[in-house]
Each structure stands twice: as C-alpha cells, then as structure tokens.
Amino acid sequence: MKVLVPVKRVLDYNLKVKVKSDQSGVDLSNLKMSMNPFCEIAVEEAVRLKEKGVVTEIVAVSIGPEQAQETIRTALAMGADRGILVKVDGDVEPLAVAKILKGIVEAEQPQLVVLGKQAIDDDSNQTGQMLAAILGWPQGTFAYKLDVGADKVTVTREVDGGLQTVDLQLPAIITTDLRLNEPRYASLPNIMKAKKKPIDVKAASDYGVDTTPRLKVLKVTEPPKRQGGVKVKTVAELVDKLKNEAGVL
C-alpha cells in the first residue's frame, strides 16, 4: 500500500508572530520555519503503519518555495521513502493545494492520503475535505485512531459530542487530529540518510493548476491586549460590574 503525506512549511509554533508595520501581513523575516505540527502527526502515523507492515511506501509532498525541501527532508528523516516538491512562490490557497494534490494522486496512485487537519498559519481546515470532494473519495476527518485493513480503514474521529467511528472503503482521505499520536524525533543517522533520498521537483503548471490567489488580504492587525482582572468583595459588587462596566448582563 502506498501512502501520500502532504506536509507544509510554516513558522515554528514556538515563536511569536509579529504584524508588519504596514499591516499587510505577518513578518516572517529571519524567523525559524518548520513542519506544520499536524503534518508531523500525519507523517508519524504513516511511518507507524509502515512499521506494522501495512504500508510499503510513503511519499511526502510539499507545495511551496525552494526552502520547503527542508520540510520534506524532515519527513524523510522520520521515515518517508521519497519526496515531491511542487515549487510555488507566494501563498497558495487550499483549493489550489487540493487541485495540485489531485494531480499528484492521479500520477502516484496511492491507496491512502494522510494529511494534517489544518495548518497553524492560516487555520483553514479545508484542504483535506476539498481533496476528497474533487477526487470523489471517502474522508475521515479529525482522526483520533486509525485501523487500516486490506480494503477499508476504520477511523475513530473526534466530534463535538465525543468520538465517532466510521468505516471507509479504500482509497480514502484521512486528516489527523492532535491526539492521534506523538511524533518521533528524527535520529542523526536517519537525518543523514534522508539527505540521500530522492526529491522530485515539479511546478504547479505540470498539473494544470493556476495558483493565483482568489482572496485579497486587506489588513492584518494584532488582537487587543488583555487587561488585568480585578477582585471583588461581594456578589453584589460582581453583579454591578458585570452590568454597568462589562455590559454583559
């Protein structure tokens, strides 16, 4: 079984973002970039399936600038077998990503596509669902647990009321949630081996996809700073403040 794992290069989640002075976006200059945390979970799950003997090949895919090769190398160090970089400069919206992935799926013919439920930079949570729609494949989103068989996959997924279990016929799309697994740290020997694993470089035009943005960012602003709380001595004082100062009663 072949598994396709899309991975995205994003600002490292440990860093605090700053808005540009002209409010045109977020300032990413001279900041550390890394693999999207939900994509790490997707790679880890694919590697675990390979270790169980369910999966025979893992293909890591990234859509972005030349530097996204580093993100693919991270996936290769974790256990992926080879990579594909679709080189695109600038932001790529979820629909364009889904269309490019559709072209890669048609070329690679994987039985399973496992990707993070969302990226921490735009929080769109759209690519997996869009890819399933344009491929006509079943989808299991927000995966909490996976059980892959010969011709179907059982997905326990997180929903508002708890957990829901669904059976999907392969091929299928899976998006990973936070509690699916704990991604491993790549060892130094595997990092060195990853440098020798192949990465094919493609262009969006190879798949007939126009990545021109359909949305325009008008302004980006930081959220208002939180103000300190106050202590009240009585319930009557609390009610008075909620009614007259906060205006919530």
- CA-based radius of gyration for the chain: 21
2-244: CATH topology is: Rossmann fold (3.40.50)
Instruction: Tell me the pLDDT band of 39, cut-offs 50, 70 and 90.
Output: very high
According to the model, what pLDDT value does residue 246 have?
Answer: 79
249 pLDDT above the threshold of 80: no
Domain ranges of the chain: 2-244
Count of alpha carbons within 13 Å of 71, Cβ hemisphere only? 30
Give me the mean pLDDT over the 131-153 stretch.
Answer: 94
For residues 83 and 200, the answer to whether their CB atoms sit within 8 Å is: yes
Instruction: Tell me the pLDDT band of 54, cut-offs 50, 70 and 90.
Output: very high
According to the model, what pLDDT value does residue 217 have?
Answer: 87
Higher pLDDT, 37 or 226: 37
- Average pLDDT across the chain, whole number: 93
Residues 6+ apart with CB under 8 A from 232: 238, 241
For residues 2 and 59, the answer to whether their CB atoms sit within 8 Å is: yes
CA-CA distance, 112 to 54, in Å (whole number)? 11
Task: Using alpha carbons, select from 68, 134, 140 the residue that is nearest to residue 98.
Answer: 134
Residues 6+ apart with CB under 8 A from 242: 248, 249
Instruction: Tell me the pLDDT band of 21, cut-offs 50, 70 and 90.
Output: confident
Give me the mean pLDDT over the 122-143 stretch.
Answer: 95
Question: Using N-to-C axis directions, what is the helix angle for 94-108 and 127-135, rounded to 10°?
Answer: 50
Task: Using alpha carbons, select from 133, 130, 128 the residue that is nearest to residue 157.
Answer: 128
CA-CA distance, 147 to 143, in Å (whole number)? 11
Task: Using alpha carbons, select from 67, 49, 68 the residue that is nearest to residue 58.
Answer: 49
* Global confidence as pTM: 0.86
Q: Read out DSSP for 189-224?
A: HHHHHHTTS-EEEEEGGGGT-----S-------PPP
Instruction: Tell me the pLDDT band of 90, cut-offs 50, 70 and 90.
Output: confident
According to the model, what pLDDT value does residue 43 have?
Answer: 97
